[in-house]
Each structure stands twice: as C-alpha cells, then as structure tokens.
Amino acid sequence: MTYTKEQIQGENADYSGFGIDTKIIIAGQEYFKHRVHWYEDGNLGFLVEDTAFFIHRGVISRKSAVIKTLINSSPTTHLDNIIPPYEQLHSSFTKGLPFIKLGSEDRAIDFARVLDFVYPEVLCSTPAPELTTAEVMGLVRFANKYLIREVKAWAVSTLESTHLVVVEDEWVTGALEKRYLQNPGFCVDIIQLSMECQLPQFLPLAFYALATMEWSVQPQAAVLSLDRLSPADRWRVLQGRGALAEAVKEMGSDAYGSIPTEKQCPEDAQTCYEVWSEVASNPHHWWANLLLHPLEELELLLVKAESESMCEMCYTELQTETRGFRDELMGRLTEFFRLE
C-alpha cells in the first residue's frame, strides 16, 4: 500500500505541535499520539520520548535491519486506553496492540523525520525538507544508530553541501567566521557526531576552529564546552595549534619572504601595490594575523586580489603562491591534528 504526500506529511510539516490531538496511556504511562505518523491500518507502535507512533512493520523493517532485529527480539507493551476527557477523539483501536520503546537517548523529532523518508514514494516524490543544521545532525545520528543507510546518506550529503565545511571546499572563511568561531560548543558537537558516526571529513575544520579560537573573548560557558571533549581530543587541539603555527612560519617564509612593491610590478600598476599594501605597510601585524587565522587571512588576500584590477603577471603570481599555501595547509590539517 502506498501513501500520498498529504497522508505522510500532513497539511504542513511543522512538527512543533507533536501529539496535540490525543493522549493515550500505554503500560501505565501517558503519551501523545504523533499527529502524522499514526496510521489507522498500522500494526506496530513505537514509543520515543513522550510520543507514540503507530506505523507498519514491513515499511520500517525493510529500511533498518537493526529495527527489524529489535522488533523480533524486544518485549512489547500494549495500548491500555485513552485518557479522559479525550475519549471522544480516539480511533477504533483495541487493546493488545504492540508497542516498542526506543532508547532514552533517541528523540521523537528524529524518528518522525526518518519516517518522512522511509515511507513509500516520499523520498523520491517530495522536495527535500529545509532543516536546520542541528536537525540534520540529529537525523544523521539516529540513522547511523539504526543503520538506515538511505537517510544517513542524504543527511550527510546535506551537511557537506549546505551546513558544514570540509577540506575540499574552495572557500571556508565565511562559515568559519559566522558559525564555527562564534560557537565552540558547535565545534564540539561536530567532533562528537563525526567520531560517533564515522564522518572524518568534518573533523579537520572543527579542530582548526577550536585551535585558532580567540578564547579571551569567549564567555565562560563557551570555554567549558571543551570539557565535553575527550582528553585525547583536547590534546589534539593543543598539539594541532602548535603544528599549524610551525607550518605557517615555514611555508609563509617561502611564499612571502619578500613583499612586492609598486616598483616591482612590470606594468607599474597602482592596484597591484594596493593589494599588498596592508602587508607591506605593517608586516608584523599581517604575520600575527596569519599565525592566528591562517586560512582566513590567505582567503582574504585571494578575495582582495579578485576584486582589484591587478596586472596579469602580479595576479598570477599572487594566486599561485597564496592558493598553493592555503591548499597545502588545508591538506595537512588531518596531519596537524593527528586524525588519521
């Protein structure tokens, strides 16, 4: 049996009103019926947090071998009755319907979103939902735990393309400055998710952000977020910071040992000099920034070169040196933070 988009998603996909219609008692405990994933012709229930789902055994079993095993091996609880004064709202369910309680760490919102995907025809016939980064990360964690491969693959791809940065990205400064460097706890969340769900592609820049963070301007609560890291990961942050600084000194000396001036431009172009003016006028300040935030500083230089009308020779030289410097640092982040 297949289901329409309206049957599975409801009139809108706003999950903020979980179970607003009916309360039920199962094994002596009160739950809210999920207002979307409670099917009249279902044959198996799931209890997640304070929400009850009633779905079809075959649909979920085909997508998750872990849940299939759970169904076959777990004791079930049963629907008792509807709590007054909600009796007039209940459907024609009888006692004896089986329910399985998922883990205490599982979230109803994640299970609901998984069901949005795994029901027949939904994944291919409906637009991808617009989820926040935290929601996609929750979906990855749930799908990883229960080995729901299609959902995990979609969620990981969404993180890569929209929400998080990886070393293959052409530019990372915007995401680092707006999200990573403003929120150490977010970086810790990424590291924990990546370790738990075998997603090494998200680790290098999360560790980079923590290693280059200006902790003096962070609130105490942000600093305490580091306590959620393992001792080994806290050591990676410190060790990586030192290795990164050494690499910047070594590669930077080769790339920018002598700063070009206007007279060195073959076309004597003022714009060529202006691109390097910040470096030439205050090299100590520029080097300090380069050591603190090397990727951001190098990308800023590349952006400035793109926006100015440099002569072809100066532009090519700057692009070659700076892009090569930046890409080599990116490529060595895994080495710096000992993530292999």
Mean residue pLDDT across the chain = 80
Q: Residue 188 and residue 60: Cα distance in Å, rounded?
A: 32
What would the mean pLDDT of 194-218 be, rounded to a whole number? 93
* Residue 258 predicted with pLDDT over 70: no
Residues 259-301 have pLDDT tens digits of 554 446 777 777 777 776 666 666 777 788 889 999 999 998 8
Please give the Cα distance from 286 to 322 (Å, whole number): 14
pLDDT at 309: 73
Q: How confident is the model at residue 85 (pLDDT cuts 50, 70, 90)?
A: very low
% of the chain beyond a pLDDT of 70: 78
Domain range holding 104? 5-145
Are 139 and 17 part of one and the same domain? yes
Average pLDDT value for residue range 130-140: 92
Say if residue 141 is in the same domain as residue 249: no
pLDDT of residue 172: 92
Residue 210 counted as domain residue: no
Residues 6+ apart with CB under 8 A from 296: 173, 176, 177
Q: Is the same domain home to 141 and 257? A: no
Say what percent of the chain tops pLDDT 90: 43
Give the three-class secondary structure for 23: strand
With respect to residue 28, please indicate whether it lies within any of the assigned structural domains: yes
- Of 53-67, 85-99, 169-183, 273-287, give the lowest mean pLDDT range: 85-99
Q: Round to the nearest angstrom and report the end-to-end CA distance of the chain.
A: 47
* pLDDT value for 232: 94
Residue 124 and residue 255 share a domain:
no
Sign of CA dihedral 260, 262, 265, 269: positive
Q: Is residue 225 included in any domain, yes or no?
A: no
- Does residue 23 share a domain with residue 135? yes
pLDDT of residue 82: 43
In a shared domain, residues 122 and 252: no
pLDDT value of position 91: 35
Contact 118, 59 (CB under 8 A): yes
Task: Give the residue from 145, 177, 210 where a domain finishes.
Answer: 145
Length of the chain: 340
Within-domain flag for 35: yes
Q: Rounded to whole angstroms, what are the CA distances from 92 to 88, 95, 97, 182, 338?
A: 11, 10, 12, 52, 59
The confidence band for 197, taking pLDDT boundaries of 50, 70 and 90, is: very high
* Pair 31, 23: CB distance under 8 Å: yes
Domain-ending residue, one of 114, 145, 176: 145
Alpha carbons 59 and 306: distance in angstroms, whole number: 53
- Strands 51-55, 29-38: parallel, antiparallel or unpaired by DSSP? parallel
pLDDT at 257 over 60: no
What does the pLDDT average to over 182-200?
95
DSSP category for residue 15: G
What pLDDT score does 218 carry?
85
Give the pLDDT band (50/70/90) at residue 160: very high
Residues 202 and 165: their CA atoms lie apart, in Å, by 7
Split into its structural domains, the chain has a count of 2
Of 112, 129, 145, the domain-final residue: 145
Looking at per-residue pLDDT, the higher value among 184 and 75 belongs to 184
Q: Say if CB 114 and CB 151 are below 8 A apart.
A: yes
Q: Is residue 10 domain-shared with residue 135, that is, in the same domain?
A: yes
CATH number of domain containing 110:
3.30.710.10
